[in-house]
Amino acid sequence: MNIIVLAKQTLDTEERILIKDGKVAEDGAKFILNPYDEYAVEEAIRQKEKNGGRITVLSVGPERSAEALRTALAMGADEAALISDEGLTDEYGVSLALAAYVRQHGCDLLLGGSFSVDNGAGQVAVRVAGLLGIPHTSSITRLEIDGGRAVVLRDAEGDSETVEVVLPALFTAQQGLNDPRYPSLPGIMKAKKKPFRCLQLADLGLSEADVAPRTERTSLSLPPDRPAGRRLSGEPKQQAAQLVRLLQTEGKLW
């Protein structure tokens, strides 16, 4: 089975993020493999272990994204491809480039994350399925493959839905799908020798005009600082009364 995992390098949102000139300041920022894409990589490895095949991790991003792809290779993916072009900025262009690669190479199973933890549009993977004209199911928490069909369990806003899908198809991973492995030391060493392709738009038969962004980011800001905590005082009964009042007036619970 030929498996392609769509994987994006994201900012580590657990670390401090600074905005400078309307953009996230990259100096000192820490980058990681998008955690939802880690579930996708882990699932690809488990499916390969059961059904055989080959796993390619595919990304659109600047050169630094190679590090996230190396993490996926160290986990167990077989090869990586990185599409880098400054013209690829919005979900429209990024998904066009990813779909062009998949069309060129073909695959039986496409996996991605539910969303990226930095921009979080939740669009790219699903757009790729749309461009390829294949079925997709988002936010899956279980994947079982039997021949040319897949049965998936998906998280439907707290409820669970079981869906049967004909392959080739695309699925996006939700937390709970699996427990991603840590890359082992031998895995890290082996990753250095695995095939790693660097591509430009022209390699995919695309031009800058084809991927020209359809959206413009007009501003970017950090969430407001959280106000300091407040300590209640007095007898427990008085504190409970204060707490109820605060929840009503400031917590906006009623």
Ligand X SMILES: Cc1cc2nc3c(=O)[nH]c(=O)nc-3n(C[C@H](O)[C@H](O)[C@H](O)COP(=O)(O)OP(=O)(O)OC[C@H]3O[C@@H](n4cnc5c(N)ncnc54)[C@H](O)[C@@H]3O)c2cc1C
- Among the listed ranges 151-159, 192-200, 214-222, 231-239, the one in contact with ligand X (CB under 6 A) is 214-222
Adjacent-strand bridge partners of 4: 56, 110
Q: Contact between 101 and ligand X (CB under 6 A)?
A: no
Rounded distance, CA 183 to CA 74, Å?
Answer: 5
| β-bridge pairing 31-33 and 136-146 | unpaired
Size of the site for ligand X (CB under 6 A): 30
Judge contact between 56 and 5, C-beta under 8 A. yes
Adjacent-strand bridge partners of 145: 150
Q: Contact between 47 and ligand X (CB under 6 A)?
A: no
Q: Contact between 2 and ligand X (CB under 6 A)?
A: no
Tokens of 65: 């994204």
Among 31, 33, 37, 70, binds ligand X (CB under 6 A): 37
Least Å distance, CB 80 to ligand X, is 11
H-run or E-run covering 251? none
Residue (35 or 236) nearer to ligand X, CB: 35
Judge contact between 222 and 108, C-beta under 8 A. no
Let me know the angle formed at the C-alpha of 225 by 221 and 227, rounded to the nearest 5 degrees.
Answer: 155
H-run or E-run covering 160? strand 159-166
Among 4, 32, 34, 143, binds ligand X (CB under 6 A): 34
Q: What are phi and psi of 25, to 5 degrees?
A: -75, 120
Q: Contact between 180 and ligand X (CB under 6 A)?
A: no
Among 53, 122, 130, 135, binds ligand X (CB under 6 A): 122
Residue (60 or 150) nearer to ligand X, CB: 60
- Among the listed ranges 84-92, 143-151, 180-188, 227-235, the one in contact with ligand X (CB under 6 A) is 84-92
Residue (2 or 13) nearer to ligand X, CB: 13
Q: Which residues bind ligand X (CB under 6 A)?
A: 6-8, 34, 36-37, 59-61, 89-91, 94, 98, 112-113, 115-116, 118-125, 213, 215-217
